[in-house]
Chain A
Amino acid sequence: MEQIICHNASLGYEGSTVVEELEFTVREGDYLCILGENGSGKSTLIKTLLGLHGTMSGSIEWGKDFSSRDIGYLPQQTPVQRDFPASVREIVLSGCLSKMGMRPFYGKAEKKLAAEMLERFGITKLAGSCYRDLSGGQQQRVLLARALCATSKMLLLDEPVTGLDPRAQIELYELIADLNKSGITIIMVSHDINAVKYATNILHIGSRRQLFFGSKDDYLVSHAGRSFLESGEAERETENKHEQKGENA
């Protein structure tokens, strides 16, 4: 079942177009990876999907029983959060706000949901701990739990592995893959080459326009896919060379 149908959409804000002619569909249970360089309009696409911007032309249609409110969002970390005095429980509970309407305080249902999410991500023991004392991987688990308090249909993740050490990155990718297997649609924005491995579909945005949309297997043999993967490998090789040089010196 389609959840998001994006047809010939141009996106931008304050009158200037950032990216044009986007054409893609997200179906229930998909794992879509959105790739692109910095400044290619990924953040604008995120904001549009979340319903914070309109499209400039073209359309984004929502499936039946689905709207931008059904997207659980995992934003990039901000500097404010790194020294924020908040307990894990407080943060996870704040995901329930979307279900509260005008009610000012959390009720039993919200507390129960938050407790379930803490359990699901194995962070019940950390509920009373302070967010700033957690490791990067634990922090991402907290934010995932919060996002799933808001919705259980779709997760939109913005560069989730940035700043994590390689092992925590793999753990997070596995965790997200598990969530996808349990039926949650995943949209992940990334410029990390490893993200491709777990996805079912790829949307690759170049400067101002769409370079590729389709299944992962098609992407791997496409021109856009091959050049992206090669550039990634080349990058890794130069990194390795630098490291070797560093060791020699």
Chain B
Amino acid sequence: MTELWNTLVYYFSFPFVQYAMIVGLLIALCSSLLGVTLVLKRFSFIGDGLSHVAFGAMAVAIVAGLTNKMIIIIPVTVLSAILLLRTGQNAKIKGDAAVAMISVGALAVGYMLINAFSKSANVAGDVCSTLFGSQSILTLTKSEVWVCIAMAAVVLAVFVIFYNRIFAVTFDESFAKATGVKADAFNLLIAVVTALIIVLAMNLVGSLLISALIIFPALSAMSLFRSFKQVIICSAVISVICAAAGIVLSVLFSTPVGSTIVCADIAVFIVFRVISMIKER
């Protein structure tokens, strides 16, 4: 036990491990806050679709040889978020089909681009790390950490200031519209913030696992708690604890960061479900 503790202290003396922890916790916090709204609005799949779009954009950035990949990834993902929301309303192609179409399309094109044009010697490794986020969380620079802190602060501020209106729009869009809440504007805001979180979270868990970060804490919290505020708080707490545990465990046992965090989320989900089943008896 002391040996493990010593290893942990040793690893956490490195700045890059500290950075990983800070960024990891912030991302987990933001994604869980928004996750509750996304799950309740039946938008879970938009998160999944957007993460694939982010992968596609990342591939373009890699091929173009950009050092700051965010210049391409952020605008493309935000734009897709807006588009997906629009198609949901106009419904020429139904919402879920549009999401599926865009997400697999972006995956295929992204992988194709990387394969055809990448100058890197290790294409498979590049793809794997963008999809599952194997190393990128441990290679963050100081400036990237600051960007992440700033974006997390924005997300948190937006969420707290508009909390009551987000609740109203999530619970009952028609009533919210009738009382003069600009529901469409809030849907747009939610989509844009989701896109930003997904871009941030790509560093942590990779684009394939982001949805897990959004969905699991929300579903766990919803199975036990019965008011919106409790669900939001519980979901945030679960997500932060799971991210911390996941990062620590992955450092100790050299497992991949992203999947370790998601496994922790799954474990909590199962425990909460069991508790709620016992309570309902």
Interface positions of A (Cβ within 8 A of B): 50, 52, 69, 71, 73, 75, 78, 80-81, 84-87, 89-91, 93-95, 97-98, 104-106, 128-130, 132-133, 143, 146-147, 150
Contact = CB atoms under 8 A, between A and B. Distances in A.
B179 interface: yes
Contacts of A85: 40, 222, 225-228, 230-231
Q: Which of B170, B174, B177 has the most CB of A within 10 A?
A: B174
Given A75-B172, A86-B171, 12 more contacts: A73-B174, A78-B174, A84-B171, A90-B228, A94-B172, A94-B175, A97-B181, A98-B179, A98-B180, A104-B163, A104-B164, A147-B175
A87 B178 contact: no
Given A75-B175, A133-B226, A97 B164 contact: yes
Contacts of B227: 85-87, 89-90, 128, 130
Contacts, number: 86
Interface string B223-242: 00111111100000000000
Given A87-B228, A133-B226, A150-B179, A97 B165 contact: yes
Contacts of B94: none
Q: Which of B40, B161, B175, B226 has the most CB of A within 10 A?
A: B175
Nearest to B226: A130
B146 to A, nearest CB: 27
A97 B181 CA distance: 8
Q: Which of A90, A128, A129, A130 has the most CB of B within 10 A?
A: A90
Contact of A73 (B163, B175, B225, B231): B175
Contacts of A97: 164-165, 168, 176, 179-181
B162 A73 contact: no
B167 interface: yes
Contact of B177 (A52, A91, A147): A52
B170 to A, nearest CB: 8
A238 B161 CA distance: 55
A105 B178 contact: no
B154 to A, nearest CB: 15
Nearest to B218: A85
A104 B166 CA distance: 11
11 contacts: A71-B178, A73-B175, A75-B175, A90-B228, A98-B180, A104-B160, A104-B163, A104-B164, A105-B163, A143-B175, A150-B178
A93 B227 CA distance: 13
Contacts of A71: 178
A106 B164 contact: yes
B86 interface: no
B119 interface: no
Contacts of B42: 80
B41 interface: yes
A147 B168 CA distance: 13
A112 B158 CA distance: 27
A150 to B, nearest CB: 5
A75 B226 contact: no
Contacts of A75: 172, 174-175, 178
A52 B229 CA distance: 30
A73 to B, nearest CB: 4
Leading 3 A-B pairs by shortest Cβ distance: A130-B226, A87-B227, A98-B179
A127 B82 CA distance: 37
B179 A95 contact: yes
A90 B229 contact: yes
Contact of A52 (B165, B167, B178): B178
Contacts of B176: 94, 97
B171 A94 contact: yes
B179 A81 contact: no
A38 B209 CA distance: 44
A4 to B, nearest CB: 15
Interface string B54-93: 0000000000000000000000000000000000000000
B171 A69 contact: no
A73 B178 contact: yes
A226 to B, nearest CB: 34
A101 to B, nearest CB: 10
Contacts of A80: 40-42, 170-171
Contacts of A106: 164
A104 B165 CA distance: 8
A90 B226 CA distance: 11
B178 A50 contact: yes
Q: Which of B162, B176, B179 has the most CB of A within 10 A?
A: B179
